[in-house]
Amino acid sequence: MELNPPLADWDPAAAIAEAKARIHVAEASCGRAGAGVRLLVATKTWDADAARAVVAAGGTLVGESRMQELAVKGPALAETGAEVHVIGQLQRNKAATAVDFASCIQTVDSLRLAERLSRLASEREKELSVMIQVNVSGEDSKAGVDPDDALALAADVQALPSLTVTGFMTIGLNSSDEGAVRAGYRRLREIRDTALIESERGKYSLRDAWELSMGMSGDLEWAIAEGATMVRVGTAIMGARPAV
């Protein structure tokens, strides 16, 4: 597997500061100043040196998409003390790598996958955070559970040992149509709001499921305006990913 070294002229501290400033401006311009939207740096295709540099520069929440990459970079990331999340589609036969190196799996979209994660976490006497990935764009190519099934899945997953559902994640519509993209993000927020409200009423036990992981380099402002609590940024920090 080919992983790319950091670009020669890359300044991770400046890139991360710029991304954080963008988040702050976005928060302020939609009335969410001080909301504390977290920055997750998506380090897929970049090597362990690049990932280490990200953490050293203050990017202490890192997302990995491919388990073959996580197996390579995981030990280096663990040494940095970074918080590592899985943000890519996860096959059940790769779930062990995810549980070994990540504290949160954002891409749970089936009960079978959750059951496997639960078993692996229990064996390792670990508590694992998970998010429910929802396909809000309706595109066949996108992973994630149907929005109508998201709450039932979240409730079933929360009932499994060693797992805590901490929120919902989506990959937005890849479009320049602000209204269409934001409608998807709004849908995710409504699912999250229902989870919390119905947990207050005792229908679900999803009180910890407040997180909304949505928004990437190209549209994080729209996601923050719709309530994102975490944005996942790759190219805007790392530079353009070389073709893989």
Ligand X SMILES: *Cc1c(COP(=O)(O)O)cnc(C)c1O
Cα–Cα dist 216/7, whole Å = 20
Residue 212: CB minimum distance to ligand X, A: 13
Instruction: Write out the two tokens for 129.
Output: 């955070």
Nearest CB to ligand X, comparing residues 27 and 69: 69
Nearest CB to ligand X, comparing residues 30 and 143: 143
Q: Where are the alpha helices (DSSP H) in the chain?
A: 12-29, 48-56, 67-80, 95-101, 111-123, 150-158, 178-200, 220-225, 235-238
State the residue number with the nearest CB to ligand X: 234
Nearest CB to ligand X, comparing residues 15 and 95: 15
Residue 99: CB minimum distance to ligand X, A: 19
Q: In 10 A of CB 143, how many CB atoms?
A: 16
Nearest CB to ligand X, comparing residues 42 and 61: 42
Residue 177: CB minimum distance to ligand X, A: 17
Residue 196: CB minimum distance to ligand X, A: 24
Q: β-strands 83-86, 61-64: how paired?
A: parallel
- Scored b (16 or more CB within 10 A) or e, 227-242 reads bbbbbbbbebbbbeee
Helix axes 48-56, 67-80, angle to 10 degrees: 40
Nearest CB to ligand X, comparing residues 138 and 161: 138
Residue 123: CB minimum distance to ligand X, A: 27
The C-alpha angle with vertex 32 and arms to 174 and 166, in degrees rounded to 5, equals 65
Closest C-alpha to 166, from 131, 196, 194 = 131
Residue 118: CB minimum distance to ligand X, A: 22
Q: Measured over all CA atoms, what is the biggest interatomic distance in the chain, rounded to whole angstroms?
A: 55
Interacting residue ranges for ligand X, rule: CB under 6 A: 42, 44, 65, 87-88, 171, 216-218, 232-236
Nearest CB to ligand X, comparing residues 44 and 189: 44
Residue 214: CB minimum distance to ligand X, A: 9
Nearest CB to ligand X, comparing residues 185 and 204: 185
Contact 58, 16 (CB under 8 A): yes
Instruction: Write out the two tokens for 101.
Output: 């190196």
